[in-house]
Structure 1
């Protein structure tokens, strides 16, 4: 068995254990698209109205299992974007990232014969979801944006790892280092900067493996760096990836933002002026970092479940602030 096959076996075994931990029965499908010419990995669980989940950059979509498990009664469609987890590598070149993202999302929905769905996007997935509300609004019923939606809103910033990876001098070295074996405690420490210490400590070893092992597969670290370089320059989002006030005002999909008060990529207060420009959008601040469902999955699920059911989000000052 080759090293790549061994890694894939370990990743799949960890996925099975994570799914079992949260009581999820997962069906896997690899979807081949033409425009762009990529392959998307889709995991499906449950039955009912469709809810599409989109992963953050370099993160596995099954990392959202703690949240999915708290939302019964839906057909959950978990999309591993190209170059993520076990989805084949992809360079994200040729057209704008926004155009590529829309091709991936709409093409995947078409392949699955899903006309419209609710979307739950985390980080990069939140950016893709907000783009979809503007460029493919007929495909979304509702949208939950969990944590800072990558570069979408003014004021967001990258972390040190992103600055290093996008550097012409250090980026190539960092990319090669990602492919080297390392102990779990190193990966857990690295995740701490991005998602916060409590969430990183709470992550099981299997969940941690789903985050760290895919980057060692051929092409995945290069995919991560390529996409990151198209989104950011150092720690600063590239202007073309930031939504304008006029675009925000055009969004008419019901949107809920679930934002950790300690989110390292942007604070809720920085986000609030942009969120208020989206008609009817709600901003709920929860006591967490950039991955709120690792800190409090039931709370996040209750908020998102309310959105999916069409309920107004309740405001309780002791738990969160409302935009």
Structure 2
């Protein structure tokens, strides 16, 4: 069977600004919204579109500060980023959805599970952690980007493969790696810095027990940014959370799309989201 071409992005006016979104799949199917990682646009989810839209109304969006979504003055918080997700759902008249996010997007999913659980059927938190990195590290990166502008984004792009992908993937898939580097190089410095500042201040470790939704914690076996250990720690804090490990590094949906898709779809199916 030939694969359908993903829908083209469109502007969606919400109560919190105009976001760049794409919508694929049957309008009557259960809704699933995807949230991108720091430094990537919604196109990072291209390898998931065919598999996910077969069973879901699939919504992708550029996170605030990224792509053609609002690039507002920072710093941002995860309350901001979480409320943006709710605003997108509201604008589409979606009362409840499933959520899947990677890295920063996964952390957004944790915030939503804690503060807006009634709007979601389940959350898949991928390559993420309840506390990512250190305040000093994120604030230093934010300052570097604010002062260096687009040249600093180019420098981050040059160093990103080692953080995002395994060495084998970097060597065997240079086109995919270069595409990912182009994404981060094209992000607005102000938006990127403001998201770094959100990561600097967010620590959800003490609130994980408030999540009562079905939760999948997906980790990459070779991810050194958000490790399998981070996922295991979250699993201990979230009652009933499931753990899946795929053979990949940080952007596991790009490096191991088949295993990633299977793990997420299996979880969504067993969560009885169609009920």
Tell me the residue number matched to 1:287: 247
Match of 2:78 in 1: 98
Identify the residue that residue 122 of structure 1 maps to in structure 2. Answer: 102
Distance 2:233 2:183 in 1: 38
Structure 1 residue 165 corresponds to structure 2 residue 137: no
After superposition, the C-alpha distances for 1:14-72 in whole angstroms (9 at most, x for unaligned) are: xxxxxxx96333043212333x4x32111111222211001011111211111232332
Which position in structure 2 is the counterpart of 1:225?
193
In structure 2, relative to structure 1, the CA distance for the partners of 1:30 and 1:120 (3 Å cut) is same
Q: In the alignment, is the contact (CA less than 8 A) between 1:91 and 1:222 conserved in 2?
A: yes
Determine the C-alpha separation between the residues in 1 that align with 2:178 and 2:110: 28
Relative to 1, partners in 2 of residues 1:271 and 1:162: Cα closer, same or farther, differing over 3 Å?
same
Is the 8 Å Cα contact of residues 157 and 184 (structure 2) preserved in structure 1?
no
Which residue of the partner structure matches residue 271 of structure 1? 231
Match of 1:84 in 2: 66
1:100/1:30 CA distance change after superposition, 3 Å: same
Q: Which has the larger radius of gyration?
A: 1
Deviation at 1:229, TM superposition (A): 2.4
Tell me the residue number matched to 1:42: 21
> Unaligned 5+ residue runs, structure 1?
1-20, 233-237, 313-323
Give the whole-Å Cα distance in 2 for the aligned partners of 1:163 and 1:261: 28
Query: Contact between 1:63 and 1:207, CA under 8 Å: does it hold in 2?
Result: no
How has the CA–CA distance of structure 1 residues 63 and 22 changed in structure 2, closer, same or farther, with 3 Å as cutoff?
A: farther
TM-score (norm 2): 0.84
Residues 1:60 and 2:41 are matched in the alignment: yes
Name the CA distance, whole Å, in 2 between partners of 1:255 and 1:49.
17
**Conserved? CA contact 1:146–1:259, under 8 Å:** yes
- The aligned counterpart of 2:214 is 254
Displacement after TM superposition at 1:110 (Å): 0.5
Q: How many residue pairs get matched? A: 268
| Match among 254, 260, 268 for residue 308 of structure 1 | 268
Task: Identify the residue that residue 190 of structure 1 maps to in structure 2.
Answer: 160
Q: 1:270 to 1:80 in 2, by over 3 A?
A: closer
Against the structure 1 CA distance between its residues 43 and 202, is the aligned structure 2 distance closer, same or farther, given a 3 Å change threshold?
farther
**TM-score calculated relative to the size of structure 1:** 0.73
